[in-house]
Amino acid sequence: MIISVASGKGGTGKTTIATNLALSLDEPLVFLDCDVEEPNAHLFLQTDLGSPEVATTPVPQVDESKCTLCGKCGEICQFKAIIVIGETVLPFEELCHSCGGCMEVCPEKAISEKARELGVIEEGRRNGIRFVHGRLRIGEAMAPPLIKKVRAKAPVDGLTIIDAPPGTSCPVIAAMKGADFILLVTEPTPFGLHDLELAVGAVRVLGIPCGLIINRSDLGDRKVYDYAKKEDIPILMEIPFERRIAEAYSRGIPVVEAFPDWKERFVQLYRDIEDAAARKGVSA
């Protein structure tokens, strides 16, 4: 079972939900922090991280002594990541999706691979939780390749909880694709509703069952609730604004450790996710 915790916008409490869910369960699990631009779940899980592993992706390099400037590499590249300009072939590494197409079509075998650094992957452990996160290299524009490498660290069976990046663009899709259930965290405000609608649109395209958690549920209005009803999205948990919870969060203390009575609520959340997923034909 892969549960991806996402939100249309940042600051909704997505990482709080993902980490507290992980800390509440007694079964072994893998936690993937795929918010590679700003990973912070390890602070809440209080995991020690091992030595960083450099993550790379292959990009083309051209041997100009073999190149005949035929242009076939540029014709096949859908991303305009390699082009012939005048008397030279120019690869744009930042645009390259590492598909290998240009290498395949080059009649002169003038293109070989070289490694481009994406960032690092770090792993840690806390009791039954195996933790993995990616940290994008400063200046790196594309997060999805690193997210895919973080996801590849999870085994195919067992429970995996993914903390997805905020938003609804390519990095979020990379963190949600292939999940069995998406937990969407939102807040009952006009901004929350707007971004929730975008997130639900993305989830529907992927065809993955989803449920909602409404954070700061006592602030704002009822429009998120009306939307959930209209779209037939189950509300699996509501968390009212409580000063003591916000204070624990600001000190990096997980809610279920500061207030043990919350542990049973997160265990129940997991059971509800299993039930909601089962109704959609997904088995844990």
- Residue 97 CB, nearest distance to ligand SF4 (Å)? 4
Instruction: Pick from 108, 140, 238, 272 the residue near ligand SF4 by CB under 6 A.
Output: 108
Instruction: Pick from 5, 6, 17, 81 the residue near ligand SF4 by CB under 6 A.
Output: 81
Query: What are the distances in angstroms from CA 282 to CA 21, 89, 216?
Result: 19, 49, 30
Instruction: Pick from 25, 49, 76, 206 the residue near ligand SF4 by CB under 6 A.
Output: 76
Pairing type for strands 48-49 and 88-91 reads unpaired
Instruction: Pick from 36, 77, 239, 248 the residue near ligand SF4 by CB under 6 A.
Output: 77
Is residue 256 a contact residue for ligand SF4 (CB under 6 A)? no
CA 268/CA 15 separation, integer angstroms: 18
CA 20/CA 239 separation, integer angstroms: 13
Q: Which of residues 222-251 bind ligand SF4 (CB under 6 A)?
A: none
Binding range to ligand SF4, per CB under 6 A, among 107-115, 160-168, 176-184, 245-253? 107-115
Report yes or no: 120 and 55 within 8 Å, Cβ to Cβ.
yes
Q: Which of residues 87-106 bind ligand SF4 (CB under 6 A)?
A: 89, 91, 96-102, 106
Number of other residues whose CB lies within 10 A of the CB of residue 126:
15
Q: Which of residues 135-164 bind ligand SF4 (CB under 6 A)?
A: none
CA 41/CA 33 separation, integer angstroms: 6
191 CB-near residues (< 8 Å, 6+ apart): 9
- Residue 88 CB, nearest distance to ligand SF4 (Å)? 9
CA 64/CA 193 separation, integer angstroms: 54
Is residue 60 a contact residue for ligand SF4 (CB under 6 A)? yes
Q: Given the rule CB under 6 A, which residues bind ligand SF4?
A: 60, 62, 67-73, 76-77, 79, 81-82, 84, 89, 91, 96-102, 106, 108, 110-111
